[in-house]
Structure 1
Amino acid sequence: MGITRKWIFPIIRIVLIAVIAVALGKLAFVPDTAEETSPAVPTGAVVEPRVPVARGTVTNDVVITATVSADPAVAVKSTAAGTVSKLFVQQGATVAAGDPVFEVKVPIERDPAKSVDAEGNPLPAIFRYERVTAPAAGVLSSLAVIQGQDVTIGMVAGQVAPPTFSVSGALQPEQQYRLLNQPTEATVAITGGPAPFVCTGLRISTPLAGSTGGDGGSTGETGAAPGAGSGGSGATVSCAVPAEVTVFSGLAAEMTLAGGRAEDVVVVPTTAVRGAAQTGTVWVSTVDGGTEERAVGLGLSDGSQVEITSGLEEGEEILQFAPGALAVPADGGCTAMPDGSTICGDPVQMP
């Protein structure tokens, strides 16, 4: 025991001190030879994601924000020039199409040779009576003539407000490409209202240059001069609300237009195509690992994938993001980037 304390422990302490001294000396005087990475030199690599061309189903439903509105009033116009001799109804009355509204006394011109009697005295004036009828069923919302008033042909004497409603909304110009085969009906969901229903008689109208009405069929007086139209920059979609559906003017709605359905067709992501309608361009993988630009024909699109009608075969590989194409915004206005990240805001121009 005495030998251990006297010789072994001191020797061990000396060895440990020597090892620590050598280690400290190396740290202090021997430089680290490991190669340092410069932060100014990029170490990552951009990998262009590629996807195989596959088959799938494209349902081309165009959804637009719409509003319920009462159908516009129809003008009651005088069909003769003369004097109002009788009113059959008063403002606020309910009328059917063809019901008489007022009567016009129209003077009949005599032959000058027959305008005097045998003694040369003027003969009394003679008249015919023309009834002006309601052009549509509804409520006579206004009546602007009174008995004894003179009227002219085409003069607007009143308005009939029909009891019908329509749903209408603005259609963006690019959405019209998806509706080249115009549907005749739409499915409408009223916010806070009844179950979705089908409205018929769908119309897509674009104002013509120089027109005074949005759909070219307005019956109101706008006072716009000829040629003062806006030039037809926006399209409007409208359809009639069925009579059995209860709605109110001003309700918000969502209108879904079925633009077609294509099953078991060649499809690719819309981000892979430069172009959005009829024709486009994709970048196809080559055997050497590169890509080549190729023209393709485009069919239906649902906003996330598009039908390829020509130019590609199932199984070929293409770039998921076409150079120069706009990335398609995801829900909430966010854009999917090639590296898998998302950026929220305006669409991003792909490099």
Structure 2
Amino acid sequence: MFRLKARDVRSSVAARFERWLVPDGGKVVRGVPVAELRYLGFGLQGSLPPTDAYRLLSGDLKATGSITDGPAGFDCTLLEVPSVEPNPEAGAAASPTVVCAVPQDVRAFAGLQGQIAITSGQVTNVPTLPVTAVAGSADRGEVSLVLDDGTVTIREVGLGATDGAIVEITSGLDAGMRVLASPPALVR
């Protein structure tokens, strides 16, 4: 724990202090790490495809963990993991890494496999489309809008939450509008 402008700041999990990353009295902006801590328990670690980082690494994140052939359905805290620099020799972008801190009361052993389910938000009663009908998957996209006379035009739409199968449409369409089941071609 440390104090910031008369406010106590605590780690979200039991951890051991490793080192300060900012000198005493140094000024930082929101989101800049100030200390390095080491989690004292087990963690489930996984990497995300870089394209999924758009959808998952923002907002109010919650995680549920499951250890293969072991305990399942436990809530776990997501820990920030330092970014890995891409390896130019590997020829691929570095995947963001997530770690789900297994609670101390969950029996775990080193080397076990598991799964992490991450929820970055939930919405209900919102307009949606299948992701297969939309070109794009984060922030904005395009759909093939069918007009009253049967012609098709391309319409830009705002995109919100998705579960990978359906995506929230935040702007650009009204209820009752028809779109094609396949996205517009990118080459026109």
Same fold (TM over 0.5): yes
Tell me what 2:73 maps to: 196
Q: How much has 1:164 moved relative to structure 2?
A: 2.2
Instruction: Report SS of the residue matched to 2:176.
Output: coil
Tell me what 1:263 maps to: 124
Q: How much has 1:198 moved relative to structure 2?
A: 1.2
More RCO (CA 8 Å, sep 6+): 1
Tell me what 1:298 maps to: 159
Tell me what 2:181 maps to: 320
Inter-partner Cα distance in structure 2 for 1:184 and 1:299: 15
2:145/2:178 contact within 8 Å kept: yes
Gaps of 5+ in 1: 1-73, 76-135, 138-161, 211-227, 326-351
- Describe the superposition over 1:62-103 as per-residue Cα deviations: whole angstroms up to 9, x where unpaired: xxxxxxxxxxxx99xxxxxxxxxxxxxxxxxxxxxxxxxxxx
Does the alignment pair 1:176 with 2:53? Answer: yes
Letter in 1 for 2:172: G
Inter-partner Cα distance in structure 1 for 2:61 and 2:179: 37
Q: How much has 1:297 moved relative to structure 2?
A: 0.6
1:166/1:240 contact within 8 Å kept: yes
Aligned mate of 2:142, from 256, 268, 281: 281
Q: How much has 1:259 moved relative to structure 2?
A: 1.2
- Describe the superposition over 1:228-249 as per-residue Cα deviations: whole angstroms up to 9, x where unpaired: 9x99722110022111111111
2:138/2:159 contact within 8 Å kept: yes
Q: Percent identity?
A: 39
Inter-partner Cα distance in structure 1 for 2:155 and 2:40: 56
Inter-partner Cα distance in structure 2 for 1:308 and 1:292: 17
Q: How much has 1:277 moved relative to structure 2?
A: 0.7
Tell me what 2:33 maps to: none
> CA, structure 1 residues 180+238, in 2 after alignment: closer, same or farther (shift >3 Å)?
closer
Inter-partner Cα distance in structure 1 for 2:122 and 2:66: 21
**Larger gyration radius, structure 1 or structure 2:** 1
Letter in 1 for 2:47: A
Letter in 1 for 2:122: R
Q: How much has 1:203 moved relative to structure 2?
A: 2.2
Provide TM-score, normalisation by structure 2.
0.70
Instruction: Report SS of the residue matched to 1:313.
Output: coil
Which structure features the higher share of helix residues?
1
Inter-partner Cα distance in structure 2 for 1:200 and 1:191: 18
What do you get for the CA RMSD once the two structures are aligned?
2.9
Inter-partner Cα distance in structure 1 for 2:166 and 2:141: 13
Tell me what 1:207 maps to: 84
Gaps of 5+ in 2: 1-16, 19-36
Inter-partner Cα distance in structure 1 for 2:59 and 2:70: 27
Q: How much has 1:163 moved relative to structure 2?
A: 6.0
- Describe the superposition over 1:143-179 as per-residue Cα deviations: whole angstroms up to 9, x where unpaired: xxxxxxxxxxxxxxxxxxx862111011111111112
2:147/2:153 contact within 8 Å kept: yes
> CA, structure 1 residues 251+209, in 2 after alignment: closer, same or farther (shift >3 Å)?
closer
Provide TM-score, normalisation by structure 1.
0.39
1:188/1:256 contact within 8 Å kept: yes
1:185/1:202 contact within 8 Å kept: no
Aligned mate of 1:242, from 99, 103, 112: 103
